[in-house]
Structure formats: C-alpha cells, structure tokens
C-alpha cells in the first residue's frame, strides 16, 4: 500500500522500455481478470504510451482512425474508459485529456503535476495525500470513492528558463 519508490517525473527515461513494461502489465492484468485487451484497446494504450503526454480523446481518435479503427468518438471514449477502469490510463480533468499510467498496479492514487509552460505532465504517487483527504472527508461523514489531485505550475526546466 506504500507509494512506489520514485516516479520518473520530469527526468528523462527510456520510453521504449516503460511502454513495453506497461503493455506487458496490461496483458497480465486483463488475463487475470478475464477481460479482453482487444486490438482497439491495446492500440489506444500504445498511442498514449507513444505520445508520452496527455492526449485529448479526439487526438487518440485521429490516430486510431489512421490505424484503420473506427473513426467515431465513442470508439475512443470506450477504449479509454475501459483502460481507465483498470487503472492503466488516467483521466486528467483539468486538461480534458487522458494519459497512460506510468506505474500501473492495483488501485493507486495518482497526483498530477501539469506544467503550464511546456505542458509536460508528471504522475506522482498520491497515496499519502489521499489518506489525508480521506480523513478530512470522514470528519464530515463523507466517504471518498475517487479523487482528482491535479496541480498546475512550472516544471523544473521551465522554471530555470524563466529565471
């Protein structure tokens, strides 16, 4: 239940490898739950992993269409919804966009940092924050089911550039 060690965040890393790992993880997750990682779903996840940033549903859709999949919005939204339900993809409400989860595992709370200058997106483990949130909510009798933790600001690179 503890947070993962440390996220790649804004540091450079090997996209190829993280994508491969996540895809393998997705396969396994579907297999154990008797769900199907169909071509559209798999391709949708790949698209998000390749982009390595948040994409709007219509951007995903464009790429799916280019790959010969159905070109109407519900196609993309359904795949994204499926992946989000499994925690393989996160929805970033502030951006009306979706991003592949960088460290998918059983239920975890994500915390997003969005750079307003370069649009970089980092996903941090937010379990600790979530616990605090749950506690605050519980004090009013409210039970939390899902939470969005999203912050806008400047990433290290843009801060340096602005200085």
**Residues making contact with DNA (CB under 7 A):** 35-36, 38-41, 56-59, 69-75, 77-79, 81-82, 96-97
By the 8 A CB rule, do 5 and 99 touch? no
C-alpha span between 154 and 152 (Å, rounded)? 7
Q: Which residue has the tokens 């009013």?
A: 140
By the 8 A CB rule, do 72 and 54 touch? no
Q: Is the dihedral of CA 112, 113, 117, 120 positive or negative?
A: negative
By the 8 A CB rule, do 38 and 116 touch? no
Which residue's CB is nearer to DNA, number 82 or number 112?
82
127 near a second copy, judged by CB under 8 A: no
Which residue's CB is nearer to DNA, number 33 or number 160?
33
Which residue's CB is nearer to a second copy, number 23 or number 147?
147
Least separation in angstroms between residue 4's CB and DNA is 27
Least separation in angstroms between residue 41's CB and DNA is 5
By the 8 A CB rule, do 125 and 109 touch? yes
Least separation in angstroms between residue 140's CB and a second copy is 4
Which region, judged by CB under 8 A, interacts with a second copy, from 35-43, 56-64, 97-105, 122-130?
A: 122-130
Which residue's CB is nearer to a second copy, number 28 or number 135?
135
Least separation in angstroms between residue 90's CB and DNA is 13
By the 8 A CB rule, do 70 and 64 touch? yes
C-alpha span between 94 and 7 (Å, rounded)? 21
Q: Which residues bind a second copy (CB under 8 A)?
A: 7, 9-10, 93-94, 111, 113, 115-116, 122, 124, 126, 128-129, 132-133, 136-137, 140-156, 159
């Amino acid at each position: 239940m503890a947070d993962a060690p440390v996220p790649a965040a804004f540091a450079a890393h090997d996209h190829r490898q993280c994508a491969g790992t996540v895809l393998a993880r997705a396969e396994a997750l579907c297999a154990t739950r008797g769900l199907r990682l169909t071509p559209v779903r798999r391709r949708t996840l790949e698209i998000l992993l390749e982009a390595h940033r948040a994409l709007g549903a219509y951007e995903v859709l464009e790429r799916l269409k280019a790959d010969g999949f159905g070109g109407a919005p519900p196609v993309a939204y359904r795949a994204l919804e499926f992946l989000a339900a499994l925690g393989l993809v996160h929805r970033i409400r502030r951006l009306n966009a979706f991003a592949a989860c960088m460290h998918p595992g059983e239920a975890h709370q994500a915390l997003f940092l969005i750079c307003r200058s370069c649009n970089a997106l980092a996903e941090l483990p937010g379990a600790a924050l979530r616990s605090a949130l749950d506690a605050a909510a519980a004090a009013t009798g409210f039970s939390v089911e899902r939470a969005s933790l999203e912050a806008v600001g400047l990433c290290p690179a843009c801060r340096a550039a602005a200085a």
